[in-house]
């Protein structure tokens, strides 16, 4: 099973990720973790770094770099990990599509649909953290690291709306579920963790990761 966490910076993805990894480990579930990109292609990596820094670049070049990185990510990181157990991804296709849409000022649904067609491994569950942008900004402001352009309040508000559209486009394009829920309070975190753990337990008892990933 591939479980993906999506949402703007400060939404609570890292907190939920760490909670799930700890609970899965305690229950003997071999849950592994991957990030958004593979970083296995030098040329694609250069493009992705510029993209994450806020440089839109040539649209065709950027999309090709993302496609190349996604193919490598699936082949060398995600698929091998799925052969050993469930995988938790901290950001995946929705985050990439929203970043593209924000920089290139185009509808996010076309990027979601395009990227969904490029991968043979799709998450069986996507969790979109819909935490209020104001709460997210307050959390990000406490971090010691420098702010990325996506973490500025104006961009965060735009991205929050894009994520909602991206989730709808993903469900429409793939038929795969998206759980949308804020992660603003301990109660929210508990509810999200419980829901995710139920899926992880059910996936483990229902089918092998390799069989599920091949669908």
Domain ranges of the chain: 2-213
CB-side neighbour CA atoms (13 Å) of 28: 2
Give the domain 2-213 fold: Rossmann fold (3.40.50)
- The string of DSSP letters for 2-17 reads EEEEE-STTSSHHHHH
CA 146 to each of CA 4, 141, 150, 169, 206: distance values in angstroms, whole numbers, following the listed order:
25, 9, 12, 32, 44
φ, ψ of residue 128 to 5 degrees: the values are -100, 115
Average pLDDT over residues 46-66: 92
Task: Tell me the mean pLDDT in the region 70-97.
Answer: 96
Give 168-206 pLDDT, tens digit per residue. 999 999 999 999 999 999 999 999 999 999 999 998 765
Residues 3-39 pLDDT 10s: 999 999 999 999 999 999 999 999 999 999 999 999 9
**pLDDT score, position 206:** 58
CA 10, CA 136: separation in Å to the nearest integer?
A: 4
Q: Under a CB-based contact definition with an 8 Å cutoff, are residues 196 and 18 in contact?
A: no
- Contacts of 105-110 spanning 24+ positions with Cβ under 8 A: 107/165, 108/162, 108/165, 108/166, 108/169, 109/165, 109/166, 109/168, 109/169, 109/172
Q: In what order do the strands lie in the sheet with 125-129?
A: 32-34, 87-90, 2-6, 125-129, 178-181
Q: Is the separation of the CB atoms in 201 and 29 below 8 Å?
A: yes
The model's pLDDT over 132-165, given as tens digits with 9 standing for 90+, comes to 999 999 999 999 888 889 999 999 999 999 999 9
Query: Would you state the pLDDT for residue 133?
Result: 97
What would the DSSP string read from start to end of 139-174? HHHT-SSPPPGGGSHHHHHHHHHHHHHHHHHHHHHH
């Amino acid at each position: 099973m591939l479980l993906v966490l999506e949402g703007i910076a400060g939404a609570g993805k890292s907190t939920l990720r760490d909670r799930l990894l700890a609970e899965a480990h305690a229950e003997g579930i071999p849950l592994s973790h991957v990030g958004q990109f593979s970083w296995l292609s030098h040329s694609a990596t250069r493009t992705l770094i510029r993209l994450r820094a806020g440089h839109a670049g040539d649209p065709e070049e950027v999309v090709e770099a993302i496609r190349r990185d996604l193919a490598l990510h699936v082949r060398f990181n995600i698929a091998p990990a799925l052969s050993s157990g469930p995988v938790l991804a901290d950001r995946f296709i929705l985050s990439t599509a929203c970043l593209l849409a924000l920089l290139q000022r185009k509808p996010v649904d076309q990027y979601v649909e395009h990227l969904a067609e490029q991968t043979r491994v799709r998450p069986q569950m996507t969790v979109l953290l819909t935490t209020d942008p104001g709460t997210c900004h307050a959390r990000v402001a406490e971090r010691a690291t420098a702010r990325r352009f996506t973490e500025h309040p104006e961009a965060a508000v735009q991205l929050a709306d894009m994520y909602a559209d991206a989730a709808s486009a993903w469900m429409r394009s793939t038929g795969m579920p998206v759980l949308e829920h804020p992660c603003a309070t301990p109660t929210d975190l508990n509810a999200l963790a419980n829901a995710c753990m139920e899926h992880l337990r059910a996936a483990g008892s229902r089918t092998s990761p390799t069989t599920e990933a091949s669908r």
